[in-house]
């Protein structure tokens, strides 16, 4: 019997190895030179793909931002741009033609030279009729481009359909705008996302799905060789486990910090804790096209009935900034003097009375249970707080909560009069908030103006700002537009969350960029 | 015998077909449109429609199901909606991690379970017996998620004995041959003389394996106990005792050998259910296997990937079942298959 059993077990083992296929050899690391510097960054989820045109999520963008370069890049800590693969640029008088001079002598990691043809290739991949339907950002980032021309080896010209000021900032994004090696893209096709080749400070070395992505320093980087040898993006799903790994010294940097762990991490003397204002907005939207919120008086009353300052303090405990309008403070066009309706419940009651509601207004508020980047406590806690304030002025709020994906559908389909929602900016341009979320052309068809806000005066200011290449003019228009907006109150403006990360004290050169990604070219680690 | 085996193998197909149909229907009737997930913030209705068309999600359900089954028969389970990689590649690259975890978990559970079960049976109605059975009750009813987080908190955070997650520390470099890290690290040790990778691998697998095997340990312990008690009362055991054999020989040779049949059944069945239980365990411990892949696929509404992982789990389950049935015939002379 024993021999028979052994036979069966052995064949079982054989079958299982056959099933799994004994793949070829792969190395999880290269032979390390003595004293090689490795930095490990732990985060909550893995990247989905490393092909810049195939992604829409932050975890993919974080890695892409360090393998690839863009024509222009964000300055440290701001959403202004500076030269990167392009050294200078100019705009034609009508604002439709943008000409970029390219940096000479740059090579992709596979040796392919970077030039105007390469730019053309990367852009045309995403211009009609070429893009596939699963390129989430092609249309957003490059949809305004009519054609792209390689003028000579080092000059490239974009011809736009209309003047479009945010275009320059789009070219700095980590989604869809980064430049990949045409040779590699042609060679790998659909699998370029697992074999990314760019010109960036780090070279892709390996990817164990759901476990870690390894990059090595690009020794020939045009902007100076990185100070570390190896950069690892490790996946640790549980927030608390991730924090503990940092405390235990198993990893060097973590992000996605749970509000419950903030104190513990801040208290540890071996760590640097960094918070920076995020490029996002957390708000309650009101359906301005339906009863009761088609009456501006009711919207005004709702805004006045909620003590936003107190609510943000108690819910987010200092990890989010009170919003004064639709823009986070990090963007140009943010106006620190802007004043939404003040907290005044007596006035709110009076307004409701004038609108014909005497303690008998009730409406449905749809919400979601899970935390979001702009709302660390989840929608339901926020909904309950709002419900409490409104009860004080005689308004009954019925909360309906659904899982995030379903909630999104509910918002799009207008399931209720009010909804909790938020937005994370794409490119650092105010247009990306004010136009994308509140311009009347963005109503319906799955677009993002779910409050159905429609004010011709506001629309006009936004169009003007979108087509103007004079930044000061644009800021003026955006300020005027925001003033209209806080008066109309289609949203209750709540907060912008802080991006938080923690790193060991031996790490220098780590900064969270307002766009939520990390540019780690100057990262360094002190050796013990 | 051979006829029986062939008949059983042919019976696998309708079962797997049924499972596929069920999964397919559940997915397509109850889940959210994956296109909104793929396209993210800027998913307009037109873009979603175009993508649905491209992914074939607009075809009638029976056509989609036909595609899936047609592909599955030829070993093509389509491509993941998210990673764009073939589903078979995604699964096979992670399968070794799950098999390794499951085998280690089952091994630990069998050793622990059988030992506890024997002690319980021999010392029936003693305090020790009651304690073991209470422990077994706890083991069965403990939610994996809670147990996993508890273990991490105690052994990784407070005591710092074991690593929190993954299969290998990022600082360890090891050449991978088989993707079974326990085997790889041994090869690595022989080749380089550096046994650090083996230690690291072992330290990483202990917690997830214990947590995953907790309920199996309990099930095996209870089965061992009741099976042993049944055999102990048999006449031949009394005969063995009467012959003056030592208690040890009576228990281990005569009793355990005959009590093993139902125990082996249970162990075999546990193997199948552990593969299912691996979803939670792998997610908590960031174990890059098929379980955490399933979790991610469901989270993303990645139809092809969910279908692939569930189909695979079902296939493993029924095959293991079959093997267990056949093992019976080898072990138990009283069973004959016609």
pLDDT tens digits, A247-274: 888 899 999 888 888 888 999 999 999 9
- pLDDT 10s digits, B254-275: 777 777 888 888 888 888 778 7
> Is the model more confident about B43 or about A394?
A394
Residues of chain B contacting residue A23, judged by C-beta atoms under 8 Å apart: 92-93, 179
What was the pLDDT predicted at B336? 67
What sign for the dihedral angle of Cα B36, B39, B41, B46?
Answer: negative
What sign for the dihedral angle of Cα B168, B170, B171, B175?
Answer: positive
Q: Cβ–Cβ of B301/A4 closer than 8 Å?
A: no
Residues of chain B contacting residue A27, judged by C-beta atoms under 8 Å apart: 173-176
CB under 8 Å to B49, separation ≥6 — which residues?
none
A21 close contact with B: CB closer than 8 A: yes
Question: Which of A 443-462 lie inside 8 A of B, CB atoms?
Answer: 445-448
Task: Identify the residue among B80, B83, B325, B333 best suited for mutation to test binding to A, counting A beta carbons within 10 A and taking the highest.
Answer: B83
Q: Cβ–Cβ of A424/B45 closer than 8 Å?
A: no
Q: How many angstroms away from the CA of A416 is the closest CA of chain B? A: 19
What was the pLDDT predicted at B337? 64
Residues of chain A contacting residue B279, judged by C-beta atoms under 8 Å apart: none
SS3 track for A504-528: ECCEECCCCCCCCCCCCCCCEECCC
Residues of chain B contacting residue A446, judged by C-beta atoms under 8 Å apart: 43-48
d(CA A325, CA A282): 10
Closest to B42 (Cβ–Cβ): which among A1, A140, A211? A140
B5 has a pLDDT exceeding 90? no
In chain A, count H helices and then E strands.
16, 21
What three-state secondary structure class fits A448? coil
- pLDDT 10s digits, A329-362: 999 999 999 999 999 999 999 999 999 998 899 9
Across the strands, what pairs with A233?
A: A41, A213
Q: What is the mean pLDDT of chain A?
A: 91
Which two tokens mark B95?
Answer: 């399968």
Residues of chain B contacting residue A20, judged by C-beta atoms under 8 Å apart: 92, 95-96, 99, 179
Average pLDDT of the segment spanning A386-394: 96
| Packed helices B303-331 and B87-122: angle between N→C axes, nearest 10 degrees | 40
A409 has a pLDDT exceeding 50? yes
pTM metric for this prediction: 0.83
- pLDDT 10s digits, A271-321: 999 988 899 999 999 999 999 999 999 999 999 999 999 999 999 988 899
How far, CA to CA in Å, does A464 sit from each of A170, A448, A458, A475, B98? 18, 20, 10, 11, 58
Task: For the beta carbon of residue A270, count every other beta carbon within 10 angstroms.
Answer: 10
Q: Cβ–Cβ of A1/B330 closer than 8 Å?
A: yes
Average pLDDT of the segment spanning A149-171: 96
Closest alpha carbon within chain A to B282: A237
Task: Identify the residue among A32, A33, A237 best suited for mutation to test binding to B, counting B beta carbons within 10 A and taking the highest.
Answer: A237
Q: Are B292 and B283 in contact (CB under 8 A)?
A: yes
Closest to A27 (Cβ–Cβ): which among B82, B163, B175? B175
Helices (H), B83-195: 87-122, 127-141, 144-151, 181-192
A103 has a pLDDT exceeding 50? yes
Residues of chain A contacting residue B42, judged by C-beta atoms under 8 Å apart: 56, 136-137, 139-140, 448
Question: Which of A 342-361 lie inside 8 A of B, CB atoms?
Answer: none
Q: Are B322 and B310 in contact (CB under 8 A)?
A: no
What three-state secondary structure class fits A231? strand
Name the nearest CA neighbour of B163 among B113, B203, B112, B117: B203
Query: How many beta-carbon pairs under 8 angstroms link A with B?
Result: 179
A505 has a pLDDT exceeding 90? yes
Q: Are A27 and A239 in contact (CB under 8 A)?
A: no
How far, CA to CA in Å, does A156 sit from each of A103, A146, A147, B220? 11, 14, 11, 70
d(CA B172, CA B200): 8
Name the nearest CA neighbour of A486 among A329, A300, A226, A280: A300
Residues of chain A contacting residue B99, judged by C-beta atoms under 8 Å apart: 16, 20
Residues of chain B contacting residue A449, judged by C-beta atoms under 8 Å apart: none
d(CA A369, CA A37): 41
A140 close contact with B: CB closer than 8 A: yes
d(CA A506, CA B167): 26
DSSP state of A217: E
What was the pLDDT predicted at A310? 96
A3 close contact with B: CB closer than 8 A: no
Q: How many angstroms away from the CA of B126 is the closest CA of chain A? A: 33
A466 has a pLDDT exceeding 80? yes
What was the pLDDT predicted at A233? 96
Q: Cβ–Cβ of A211/B96 closer than 8 Å?
A: no
Name the nearest CA neighbour of A242 among A232, A257, A231, A230: A257
Per-residue b/e over A277-316, b at no fewer than 16 CB within 10 Å? bbbbbbbbbbbbeeebbebebbbbbbbbbbbbeebbeebb
Q: Cβ–Cβ of B173/A30 closer than 8 Å?
A: yes
Residues of chain A contacting residue B176, judged by C-beta atoms under 8 Å apart: 25-28
d(CA B326, CA B338): 13
Question: What's the pLDDT band for B338 if we cut at 50, 70, 90?
Answer: low
A82 has a pLDDT exceeding 80? yes
CB under 8 Å to A219, separation ≥6 — which residues?
A225
**How does strand A26-27 pair with strand B175-176?**
antiparallel
d(CA A39, CA A216): 10
Q: Cβ–Cβ of B83/A208 closer than 8 Å?
A: no
Task: Identify the residue among A133, A229, A248, A261 best suited for mutation to test binding to B, counting B beta carbons within 10 A and taking the highest.
Answer: A133
Q: Cβ–Cβ of A27/B51 closer than 8 Å?
A: no
Helix (H) or strand (E) holding A280: strand A280-286
Residues of chain B contacting residue A211, judged by C-beta atoms under 8 Å apart: 166-167, 286, 288
What was the pLDDT predicted at A395? 96
Across the strands, what pairs with A135?
A: none
What was the pLDDT predicted at A28? 42
What was the pLDDT predicted at B321? 79
Q: How many angstroms away from the CA of B331 is the closest CA of chain A? A: 6
Closest to A236 (Cβ–Cβ): which among B173, B175, B286? B286
- pLDDT 10s digits, A190-237: 889 999 999 999 999 999 888 889 999 999 999 999 999 999 999 888
Q: Cβ–Cβ of A29/B174 closer than 8 Å?
A: yes
Q: Cβ–Cβ of A445/B46 closer than 8 Å?
A: yes
d(CA A457, CA B183): 70
Closest alpha carbon within chain A to B290: A210
d(CA A280, CA A375): 10
- pLDDT 10s digits, B57-107: 888 888 888 888 888 888 888 888 888 888 988 888 888 888 889 999 999
> Is the model more confident about A132 or about A72?
A72
Q: How many angstroms away from the CA of A261 is the closest CA of chain B? A: 13
- pLDDT 10s digits, B117-130: 888 887 888 888 88
What was the pLDDT predicted at B117? 87
A527 close contact with B: CB closer than 8 A: no
**How does strand A395-401 pair with strand A361-367?**
parallel
Q: Cβ–Cβ of A244/B169 closer than 8 Å?
A: no
B326 has a pLDDT exceeding 80? no
Question: What's the pLDDT band for A32 if we cut at 50, 70, 90?
Answer: very low
Question: Which of A 195-214 lie inside 8 A of B, CB atoms?
Answer: 208-212
Q: Give the least confident one: A78-92, A454-468, B179-193.
A: B179-193
**How does strand A155-160 pair with strand A361-367?**
unpaired
Closest to A1 (Cβ–Cβ): which among B44, B323, B331? B331
B41 has a pLDDT exceeding 60? yes
CB under 8 Å to B292, separation ≥6 — which residues?
A210, A237, B94, B279, B282, B283, B286
Percent with pLDDT over 70 in chain B: 96
Q: Cβ–Cβ of A19/B95 closer than 8 Å?
A: yes
Closest alpha carbon within chain A to B52: A133
Q: Cβ–Cβ of B96/A20 closer than 8 Å?
A: yes
Helix (H) or strand (E) holding A473: helix A471-488
Average pLDDT of the segment spanning B47-65: 87
**Is there a cis peptide before residue B74, judged by omega within 30 degrees of 0?**
no
A54 close contact with B: CB closer than 8 A: yes
Q: Are B39 and A136 in contact (CB under 8 A)?
A: yes
Q: Cβ–Cβ of B296/A210 closer than 8 Å?
A: yes
Q: Cβ–Cβ of A210/B283 closer than 8 Å?
A: no
Q: Cβ–Cβ of B99/A26 closer than 8 Å?
A: no
Longest dimension (CA), chain B: 85
Q: Cβ–Cβ of B39/A136 closer than 8 Å?
A: yes
Closest to B45 (Cβ–Cβ): which among A46, A405, A446? A446
d(CA A251, CA A243): 9
- pLDDT 10s digits, B266-318: 888 888 778 766 888 888 888 888 888 888 888 888 888 988 888 888 888 88
What was the pLDDT predicted at A334? 96
What was the pLDDT predicted at A52? 96
């Amino acid at each position: 019997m024993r021999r028979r059993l052994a036979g069966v077990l052995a064949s079982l083992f054989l079958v299982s190895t056959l099933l799994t296929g004994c793949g070829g050899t792969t190395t999880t690391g290269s032979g390390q030179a003595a004293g090689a510097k490795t930095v490990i960054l732990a985060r909550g989820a893995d990247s989905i793909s490393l092909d810049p045109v195939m992604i829409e999520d932050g975890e993919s963008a974080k890695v892409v931002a360090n393998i690839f370069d863009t024509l222009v890049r964000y300055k440290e800590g701001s959403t202004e741009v500076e030269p990167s693969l392009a050294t200078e640029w100019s705009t034609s008088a009508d604002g439709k033609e943008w000409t970029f001079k390219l940096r000479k002598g740059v090579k992709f990691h596979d040796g392919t030279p970077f030039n105007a043809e390469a730019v053309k290739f990367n852009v045309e991949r995403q211009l009609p009729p070429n893009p596939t339907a699963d390129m989430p950002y092609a249309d957003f980032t490059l949809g305004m481009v009519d054609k792209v021309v390689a003028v000579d080896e080092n000059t490239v010209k974009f011809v736009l359909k209309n003047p479009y000021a945010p275009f320059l900032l789009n070219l700095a994004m980590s989604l869809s705008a980064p430049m990949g090696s045409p040779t590699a893209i042609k060679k790998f096709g659909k699998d370029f996302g697992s074999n990314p080749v760019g010109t960036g400070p780090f070279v892709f070395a390996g990817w164990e799905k759901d476990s870690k992505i390894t990059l090595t320093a690009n020794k020939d980087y045009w902007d100076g060789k990185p100070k570390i040898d190896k950069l690892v993006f490790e996946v640790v799903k549980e927030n608390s486990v991730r924090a503990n790994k940092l405390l235990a010294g198993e990893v060097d940097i973590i992000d996605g910090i749970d509000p419950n762990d903030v104190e513990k991490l801040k208290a540890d003397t071996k760590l640097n804790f960094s918070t920076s204002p995020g490029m996002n907005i957390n708000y309650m939207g009101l359906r301005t096209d339906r009863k009761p919120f088609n009456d501006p008086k009711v919207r005004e009353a709702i805004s006045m009935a909620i003590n936003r300052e107190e609510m943000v303090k108690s819910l987010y405990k200092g990890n989010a900034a009170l919003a004064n309008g639709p823009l986070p403070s990090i963007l140009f066009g943010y106006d620190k003097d802007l004043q939404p309706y003040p907290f005044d419940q007596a006035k709110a009651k009076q307004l409701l009375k004038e609108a014909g509601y005497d303690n008998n207004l009730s409406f449905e508020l749809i919400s979601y249970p899970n935390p979001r980047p702009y709302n660390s406590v989840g929608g339901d806690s926020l909904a309950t707080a709002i419900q409490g304030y409104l009860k004080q002025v005689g308004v009954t709020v019925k909360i309906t909560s659904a899982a995030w994906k379903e909630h999104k559908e509910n918002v799009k389909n207008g399931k209720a009069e009010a909804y909790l929602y938020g937005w994370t900016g794409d490119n650092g341009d105010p247009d990306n908030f004010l136009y994308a979320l509140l311009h009347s052309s963005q109503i319906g068809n799955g677009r993002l103006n779910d409050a159905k806000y429609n004010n011709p005066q506001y629309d006009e200011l936004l169009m003007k700002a979108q087509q103007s290449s004079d930044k000061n003019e644009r800021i003026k228009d955006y300020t005027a537009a925001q003033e209209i907006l806080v008066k109309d109150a289609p949203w209750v403006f709540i907060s912008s969350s802080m991006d938080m990360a923690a790193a060991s004290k031996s790490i220098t050169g780590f900064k969270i960029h307002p766009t939520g990604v990390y540019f780690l070219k100057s990262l360094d680690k002190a050796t013990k | 015998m051979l006829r029986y085996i062939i008949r059983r193998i042919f019976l696998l197909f309708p079962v797997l077909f049924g499972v596929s149909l069920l999964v397919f229907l559940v997915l397509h009737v109850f889940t959210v449109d994956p296109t909104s997930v793929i396209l993210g913030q800027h998913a307009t209705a037109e873009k979603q429609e175009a993508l649905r068309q491209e992914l074939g999600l607009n075809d009638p359900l029976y056509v989609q199901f036909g595609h899936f089954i047609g592909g599955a028969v030829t070993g093509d389970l389509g491509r993941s909606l998210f990673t764009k990689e073939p589903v078979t590649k995604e699964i096979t690259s992670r399968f070794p991690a799950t098999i390794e975890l499951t085998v280690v978990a089952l091994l630990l559970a069998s050793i622990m379970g059988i030992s506890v079960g024997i002690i319980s049976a021999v010392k029936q109605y003693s305090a020790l017996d009651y304690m073991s059975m209470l422990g077994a009750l706890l083991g069965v009813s403990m939610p994996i998620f809670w147990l996993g987080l508890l273990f991490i908190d105690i052994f990784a955070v407070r005591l710092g004995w074991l690593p929190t997650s993954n299969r290998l520390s990022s600082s360890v470099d090891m050449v991978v041959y088989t993707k079974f890290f326990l085997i790889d690290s041994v090869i690595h040790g022989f080749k380089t003389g550096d046994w650090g990778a083996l230690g690291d691998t072992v330290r990483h697998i202990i917690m997830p394996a214990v947590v995953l095997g907790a309920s199996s340990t309990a099930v095996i312990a209870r089965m061992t106990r009741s099976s042993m008690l049944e055999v102990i009362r048999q006449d031949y055991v009394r005969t063995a005792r009467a012959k003056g054999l030592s208690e040890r020989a009576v228990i281990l040779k005569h009793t355990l050998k005959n009590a093993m049949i139902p125990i082996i059944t249970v162990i075999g069945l546990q193997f199948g259910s552990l593969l299912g239980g691996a979803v939670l365990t792998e997610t908590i411990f960031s174990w890059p296997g098929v379980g955490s892949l399933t979790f991610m696929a469901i989270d993303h509404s990645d139809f092809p990937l969910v279908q692939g992982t569930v189909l695979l789990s079902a296939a493993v389950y029924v095959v293991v079942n079959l093997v267990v049935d056949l093992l019976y015939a080898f072990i138990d002379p009283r069973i004959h298959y016609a």
